[in-house]
Structure 1
Amino acid sequence: MFQAALCLTASDIVEEANKHIGSTTWAQSSFYSFRFYPGTNKCNLFVYDVLEAVGADPPSRHWYMYSPISAAEWGNTGSSVLRNERCWNLCTGGKQNGDVISGQGHVGIVTGYHLTTSAGTNKVVQNNWGYRSSGFGSSYKITACWRYDYYSNGC
């Protein structure tokens, strides 16, 4: 019997991320679970939860429990965790919708022309983080861009 493969696209990731704009679930100021209290960054949890919701097999530190990789791990181009994930590759040819970008201890999802959606201090926001000309979120401080392999068998 033939089983159709999930046809995941970058648009699916973008739509899922953007439907949470304004949500306080992943805000630094919010309580997420017994392990993620107010005052802890949750941008990595937001990325993980968005990717998981669309079936994009998000990277995890441990297979047996909820343990999304950190923003710093997303920002590490030599990450053994990401390099061992068959469905994730470093971006080539510039940032595209659905890509995960990281730098300066923050991680977000590219969701439009010079736009990213990510969890901030008080809520999920869409802004120009990762594309700014200077300061926090400037393009030259983005250390890594990862792209889901939409076309690979098993991804």
Structure 2
Amino acid sequence: MAGSTAITAFVCFGVCLSVVNGISWLRNHVSGSTIQKIADRHLGSTKWSFQSAYKTGKNTAKDGLFVADVFKKAGVNVPHRNNWSSSPIGAEEWGNPNSPFLKGTSCWSPASTPRIGDVISDGVTVGIVTGDRKTTRATSATILKDDWGFRSDSLNMVFWHHSC
């Protein structure tokens, strides 16, 4: 029918499939506390350390991989740099409030007030909000939970909330 708009409605029971810009996204609603618990299970791990050879090789930052792995374990996909790459976006994209990788989905939105389970980044480092003024993140040596991102000298923090 010329000039009409087709509207499709459907009910999701935990998991939905949506298509945004021709890309299929598995949408899975996961609570912030689930994300927090998964992230905090890795405290002290060296798997994502700078010296680890995990996925990207030694002497590379793996904080973006840590965030992606936590969300993947919860059943949530984070955006990747391109469709044929297994490389998730890194701190620079998480720290960009206008990231086309994140704004191109209906599941991620910038948040002005951080909640447990949100992603936090300053464009250099990325982590997950896992408590009141607390983040869990990959450092050069280990997975650490501290007040990074909430200290008085923390500037230009960007928070992303997953809502699907």
* Length-normalised TM-score, structure 1: 0.85
2:123 paired with 1:114: no
Matched-pair contact (CA < 8 Å) for 1:57–1:87: no
2:152 paired with 1:147: no
Structure 2 Cα separation of the partners of residues 32 and 8 of structure 1: 26
Q: Unaligned stretches of 5+ in structure 1?
A: 150-154
Give the residue type in structure 2 aligned to 1:16: I
Q: 1:18 aligns with which of 15, 31, 40?
A: 40
Flag the structure with larger Rg.
2
Percentage of matched positions with identical amino acids? 38
Stretch deviating more after TM superposition (6-15 or 50-59): 6-15
Partner in structure 2 of residue 86 of structure 1: 106
Partner in structure 2 of residue 152 of structure 1: none
Structure 2 Cα separation of the partners of residues 78 and 5 of structure 1: 28
* Deviation sequence 1:94-128 (CA, Å, 0-9, x none): 11100101015000000001100000011100010
* Deviation sequence 1:106-151 (CA, Å, 0-9, x none): 00000001100000011100010001112xxx2x232x110001xx
Partner in structure 2 of residue 4 of structure 1: 13
* Deviation sequence 1:71-96 (CA, Å, 0-9, x none): 0010001111110011100103x111
Matched-pair contact (CA < 8 Å) for 1:29–1:39: yes
SS in 2 for 1:24: coil
Matched-pair contact (CA < 8 Å) for 2:93–2:123: no
RMSD: 1.6
Q: Unaligned stretches of 5+ in structure 2?
A: 1-10, 16-28
Structure 2 Cα separation of the partners of residues 58 and 3 of structure 1: 20
Give the residue type in structure 2 aligned to 1:37: G
| Structure 1 segments (4+ residues) deviating >3 Å | none
Partner in structure 1 of residue 70 of structure 2: 50
